[in-house]
Structure 1
């Protein structure tokens, strides 16, 4: 079975790679990431100018078209330098656009997909509850009540990345408390981020600092009926088709990070001298880069396989979970060895190894923890549910 890229996909990859090297070099990404107080609007503008927000959005809504393979190619190439700043693109393209494409009405698609494709609408995902973490459903306290012409939303969310810069917030809330199962009675709202009653405060964190993750409070926020995505009470079923795409996105980001780690490690090993020659001649460091290269190839094969399955409408939930688990753990291991190869310079904020580690350590816990991933894989093999 051949998962190599087609000529068209290779051409697109080369275009993205040239753009990344010219417009999003590592030193600029490093400087942007260090500024925790300011959202990287300049990077957003560069992505919009090139039209990359249109990847995956149908041409009839001003997008570039393309399937998950095309999105995966872009994510990998961009993450090689951007690391966690990939989500400047990903939150809108994978979060907002995928959800609206899957469950939005024709009017909603025309109203929102067009400005998304043009880079004129920023989306932030507001899902995680303060007491929830992975247990989104069990901890769901954010709720909405039906009122004339819409809904009144109350509650709080954590880790709403990019909230301060967002135009729209994708909010999951409970709209029916009398349900048999926790995933029933949930509704998805596409909330105007400037609505009265919304307050967002920054959460200092280890990595992806410039993305500005926030705690967001909703107090009697009015959401009109036309801003409900999908059927009220059926949000969980509407979200399911997008979950595999999210895990593929994470896999592509992690593979891009491994690409960057290996690139930087090899360059340093060929230039740095110690004990009378370049350090690239040391056997132990050669073993380190051999491990990184092997993790790179393992992640690549799994990513291409899962993306191909998704693009061909094949069931791949378990495989997507495997990809998420393997890719995130490989990226963190690779970045840690990269720091070891560079020694003191690997720990320095003047290089990118520490940034690759910081940006990707979080992905072992989100959007679902790797422990929970292992639980679901075991359950798919016929073992009893463990949670």
Structure 2
């Protein structure tokens, strides 16, 4: 496939990750989903392949690739299993990202080599009961007492935060509140900190093999030097992190759509009715044509947004557009893939059934479709 954004290096990364996804992830995907089991083994393997911090300089343990290399890796894994893709996406964009882009050199040297090794993951603590789309709804509090921040509060629906591999989390907390005007700051909290507990969330419809947790902080003490950036920069750090994170969620949508489309195409070519493959019927052929067209449009929109980021241009609007479009294409393609499979697409043993469930979070996480339309409307002057 020719694409002006893709180089030979990108294709080599795609081939390597596709081989890993097909040979190592695919055989385990059903069982891990069925048992709601996070795989430390597959997570470590992604690290061993150099996918953790792939876009970071080598002095931090990265591969010194561009951000598109990360998106291609996420895309290829999402074609097979969204749970493993979400672990990779969240760790790179939401976990590593804030430390790399906003941390001081001491913080980078302390954490990034560990987070690129494949032995640890890092989380991003924004969502609370009353904080999500409204990031300023944060109620967790951090008070500086002597040489320590003392944190009280909770976070929920946090990726990569409760497994044995979790090293810590970047938290947004209220560090001052002057007549209702909140000062929001970001603080790095290690998993070993006293007063920090994490409970794994079970019973999810989607990403059942990913690690999702509820976090609680009760007089949790962390050193004052764990402040990320400056006081009052929490909202800026979180929102800029989400811009990059939206690109990885878009890559998940793109990969999932591609995977569902390929399953549907293969099924339609072998399933016969009325004496011929159902792909030969116009009703099915047109569905597949529309799916292929939307996927190609989504890919070009996403790759262009990533090109802007990689070349130092503003990309917030395009990231919002790419995340919105790719996630909704994933929904449309997964839905049509089930339709083409008919009753066979409704049983758990069918991979397309898992794809249909896994796509649903993509229109919610890291900016709901409604919020993204609001973001885009502001960019265009509405």
Give TM-score scaled by structure 1 length: 0.93
- Tell me the CA shift for residue 79 of structure 1: 1.1
Cα distance in 2 for residues equivalent to 1:222 and 1:294: 52
- Tell me the CA shift for residue 155 of structure 1: 0.6
Contact kept? 2:242, 2:366, Cα under 8 Å: no
- Tell me the CA shift for residue 248 of structure 1: 0.9
Residue 11 (1) aligns with residue 12 (2): yes
- Aligned position for 1:170: 170
Cα distance in 2 for residues equivalent to 1:64 and 1:127: 28
- Aligned position for 2:155: 157
Give the 3 Å change call, closer, same or farther, for CA 332–51 of structure 1 in structure 2.
same
Contact kept? 1:57, 1:97, Cα under 8 Å: no
- Aligned position for 1:343: 342
- Tell me the CA shift for residue 181 of structure 1: 5.4
Q: Aligned to 1:175, what secondary structure does the other structure show?
A: strand
Q: Output the aligned Cα RMSD.
A: 1.7
Provide structure 1 residue ranges, at least 5 long, that are not aligned to the other structure. none
Q: Aligned to 2:178, what secondary structure does the other structure show?
A: coil
Matches within 5 A, 1:65-76: 65-76=64-75
Contact kept? 1:250, 1:324, Cα under 8 Å: yes
Give TM-score scaled by structure 2 length: 0.94
Cα distance in 2 for residues equivalent to 1:228 and 1:42: 32
- Tell me the CA shift for residue 264 of structure 1: 0.6
- Aligned position for 1:382: 381
Cα distance in 2 for residues equivalent to 1:343 and 1:367: 32
- Tell me the CA shift for residue 240 of structure 1: 4.0
- Tell me the CA shift for residue 154 of structure 1: 0.4
Q: Spell out, residue by residue over 1:120-148, the C-alpha distance to the aligned partner (whole angstroms, 9 max, x if none).
A: 221122210112331121x2110110012
Contact kept? 2:344, 2:350, Cα under 8 Å: yes
- Aligned position for 1:92: 91
Cα distance in 2 for residues equivalent to 1:305 and 1:40: 33
Give the 3 Å change call, closer, same or farther, for CA 65–328 of structure 1 in structure 2.
same
Q: Aligned to 1:24, what secondary structure does the other structure show?
A: helix
- Aligned position for 2:78: 79
- Tell me the CA shift for residue 235 of structure 1: 1.8
Give the 3 Å change call, closer, same or farther, for CA 95–45 of structure 1 in structure 2.
same
Cα distance in 1 for residues equivalent to 2:317 and 2:57: 28
Give the 3 Å change call, closer, same or farther, for CA 153–180 of structure 1 in structure 2.
closer
Cα distance in 1 for residues equivalent to 2:90 and 2:46: 13
- Tell me the CA shift for residue 69 of structure 1: 1.2
Matches within 5 A, 1:357-376: 357-376=356-375
Cα distance in 2 for residues equivalent to 1:3 and 1:144: 47
Contact kept? 2:308, 2:314, Cα under 8 Å: yes
Contact kept? 1:53, 1:117, Cα under 8 Å: yes
Cα distance in 1 for residues equivalent to 2:60 and 2:13: 21
- Aligned position for 1:303: 302
Q: Aligned to 1:177, what secondary structure does the other structure show?
A: strand
More moved, 149-158 vs 207-216: 207-216
- Tell me the CA shift for residue 42 of structure 1: 1.7
Q: How many residue pairs align between the two structures?
A: 377
- Tell me the CA shift for residue 258 of structure 1: 1.1
Matches within 5 A, 1:1-387: 3-25=4-26, 27-36=27-36, 38-137=37-136, 139-165=137-163, 166-178=166-178, 185-203=183-201, 204-383=203-382
Cα distance in 1 for residues equivalent to 2:356 and 2:179: 42
Runs of 4+ residues over 3 Å off in structure 1:
179-182
Q: Spell out, residue by residue over 1:244-267, the C-alpha distance to the aligned partner (whole angstroms, 9 max, x if none).
A: 211111111111111101111111
Contact kept? 1:53, 1:93, Cα under 8 Å: yes
